[in-house]
């Protein structure tokens, strides 16, 4: 198994450094020859095989490097951990998706993949995401390091798939460079990673909780009133659904900052079936454990899911089955789910030659909550990419509402909160256009001793303010448990 989830292992990063050094010189010589032949700078993406790596330990190691950006992604055996920046693509404003796609297409001409013969299928990978609404009226300085959209080619990327593990180094090279100068610069980073890995206590991720939480009940009644007002607007025909979110603030128990790798580890313990992510810009981290895939692409084939309608897990097998069956037959939840499913089919239809879905939804059971889920899959038309699908789908009715424009306008006007990247697309895309984006739910923005958590729910004509409020409390639970050290 390429990933090691043990609390400790003899080799947290399974790599033969002598082999890497020998191969690095050869790959750098090829990269410099490429730059000289074409007479322009390139970013050489140099990949090497690894025996294994321990993802949480490795992410903790990267915290000790003086690098401004870090990224963590884990779902099943698919893991991506990146640090530093070789190329940063950013965009602002209402047209952020189109602009960022253009920049990504242009960047593909700058990056040259030069892999070891054992990792020829490993391609340069951009990591990033998008703000929920680049035209939001209420903005917070807490999100100041997060642009409306960003795709980042990290300096180093550790990756694991079912096929094995790899290390990729992305390094800028000019025609004037030499193997010696490039090798020295790369070794400064790699040697530091291995030195820290060897010295870092591997039980550092398993400390007890670090926070005390003061529940701000002053938000409860105003938010319930917001739900009541939205129900009234829906019944008056303004829209058919709107998703309203709220935030909760928690503070560290001491003056010590939150430990992001520990939080990521505990999120995985809490929600092993979810997508675990962390995006760090400077000293601010956006962290979460989302159950919702937005869309994935591989060789032109796309897959996504409709996820809407929620209920608690039962305390026993019998009660859990009863709750699940009630969710499957709930008129309110089935209607909400059907809206989301039908909208996704309509949004992806123009991009696809074929598009499929089962007739009935199924249950997605997570540790503390269960959802209605419908898988959707198809084949992209020639000329369309994963980024086109991301743009077409966001925001889904599960995080925005219907009709989309009307719901977004309502959220901008009445929600009184900056969602930032919460409920926005977050993920990765490689040089070929393969990749995956999720909807960044069950998440929080962490800044030193403070974390702001986010949760929302879909409001329709028969929504009840109290039950919707309790649903948000339930959705906070995974992040709260992780922050408080419960697993």
The active-site residue out of 241, 336, 415, 436 is 241
Least confident of 107-111, 248-252, 255-259, 409-413: 255-259
Mark whether 183 is an active-site residue.
no
Interval 259-270 mean pLDDT: 93
Catalytic residue among 23, 101, 292, 468: 292
Strand ranges for 291-440 from DSSP E = 293-298, 301-312, 352-356, 362-365, 369-380, 401-402, 425-430, 435-439
Query: Mind listing the pLDDT tens digit for each residue in 376-419?
Result: 999 999 999 999 999 999 998 889 999 999 999 999 999 989 99
**Could you tell me the residue ranges of all domains in the chain?**
13-205, 210-483
For residue 7, name the pLDDT band (cuts at 50, 70, 90).
very low
pLDDT of res. 293:
94
pLDDT at 226: 98
Mean pLDDT of 332-350: 91
If phi over 0 gives left and psi between -120 and 50 gives alpha, with beta otherwise, what is residue 270? alpha
- The DSSP output letter for 3 is B
CATH of 210-483 among 3.30.70.890, 3.60.120.10, 3.60.15.10, 3.30.750.24: 3.60.120.10
What the block records as the tokens of 475 is 């959705």
Express each pLDDT in 271-281 by its tens digit: 999 999 999 99
Written as six digits, the tokens of 177 are: 């460079």
d(C-alpha 139, C-alpha 42), whole Å: 37
17-25: long-range contacts (C-beta < 8 A, 24 or more apart)? 17/194, 19/48, 20/48, 20/167, 20/190, 23/48, 23/116, 24/48, 24/169, 24/183, 24/186, 25/179, 25/183
Per the DSSP assignment, residues forming a β-bridge with 50 are 165
224 among known catalytic residues: no
142, 447 in Cβ contact below 8 A? yes
Write down the pTM of the prediction. 0.92
Question: Rounded distance, CA 370 to CA 451, Å?
Answer: 25
54, 101 in Cβ contact below 8 A?
Answer: no
Q: Among 131-145, 193-207, 410-424, which stretch is predicted with the lowest mean pLDDT? A: 193-207
- 């330990």: which residue's tokens? 57
Structure tokens at 273: 């079936």
Structure tokens at 419: 């969602």
Identify the H or E element spanning 164. strand 164-173
The CA-to-CA distance between both ends of the chain, in Å, stands at 23
């Amino acid at each position: 198994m390429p990933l090691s989830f043990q609390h400790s292992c003899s080799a947290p990063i399974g790599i033969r450094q002598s082999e890497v050094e020998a191969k690095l010189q050869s790959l750098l010589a090829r990269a410099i020859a490429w730059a000289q032949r074409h007479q322009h700078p390139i970013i050489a993406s140099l990949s090497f095989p690894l025996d294994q790596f321990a993802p949480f330990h490795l992410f903790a190691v990267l915290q000790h490097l003086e690098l401004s950006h870090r990224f963590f992604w884990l779902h099943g055996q698919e893991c991506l951990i990146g640090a530093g920046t070789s190329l940063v693509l950013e965009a602002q404003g209402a047209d952020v998706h189109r602009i960022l796609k253009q920049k990504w297409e242009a960047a593909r001409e700058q990056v040259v993949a030069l892999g070891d013969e054992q990792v020829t299928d490993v391609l340069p990978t951009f990591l990033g995401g998008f703000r929920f609404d680049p035209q939001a009226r209420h903005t917070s300085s807490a999100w100041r390091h997060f642009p409306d959209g960003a795709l980042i080619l990290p300096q180093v990327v550790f990756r694991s798939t079912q096929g094995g593990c790899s290390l990729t180094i992305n390094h800028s090279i000019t025609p004037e460079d030499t193997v010696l100068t490039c090798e020295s610069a790369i070794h400064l980073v790699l040697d530091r990673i291995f030195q820290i890995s060897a010295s870092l206590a591997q039980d550092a991720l398993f400390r007890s909780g670090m926070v005390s939480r003061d529940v701000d009940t002053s938000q409860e009644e105003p938010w319930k009133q917001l739900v009541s007002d939205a129900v009234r607007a829906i019944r008056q025909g303004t829209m058919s659904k709107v998703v309203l979110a709220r935030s909760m603030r928690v503070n560290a128990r001491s003056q010590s900052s939150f430990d992001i790798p520990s939080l990521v580890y505990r999120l995985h313990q809490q929600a092993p079936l979810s997508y675990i992510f962390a995006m760090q810009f400077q000293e601010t981290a956006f962290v979460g454990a989302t159950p919702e895939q937005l869309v994935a692409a591989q060789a032109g084939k796309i897959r996504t899911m409709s996820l809407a309608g929620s209920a608690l897990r039962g305390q026993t097998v019998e009660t859990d089955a009863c709750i699940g069956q009630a969710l499957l037959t709930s008129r309110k939840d089935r209607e909400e789910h059907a809206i989301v499913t039908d909208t996704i089919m309509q949004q992806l239809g123009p991009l696809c030659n074929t598009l499929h879905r089962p007739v009935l939804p199924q249950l997605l059971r997570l540790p503390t909550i269960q959802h209605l889920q419908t898988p959707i899959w198809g084949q992209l038309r020639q000329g369309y990419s994963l980024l086109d699908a991301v743009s077409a789908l966001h925001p889904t009715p599960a995080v925005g509402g219907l009709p989309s424009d009307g719901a977004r306008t309502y959220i901008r006007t009445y929600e009184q909160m900056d969602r930032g990247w919460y409920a926005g697309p977050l993920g990765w895309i490689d040089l070929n256009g393969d990749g995956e984006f999720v909807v960044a739910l069950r998440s929080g923005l962490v800044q030193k001793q403070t974390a702001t958590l986010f949760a929302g729910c879909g409001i329709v004509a028969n929504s009840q303010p109290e039950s919707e409020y309790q649903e948000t409390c339930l959705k906070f639970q995974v992040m709260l448990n992780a922050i408080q050290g419960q697993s």
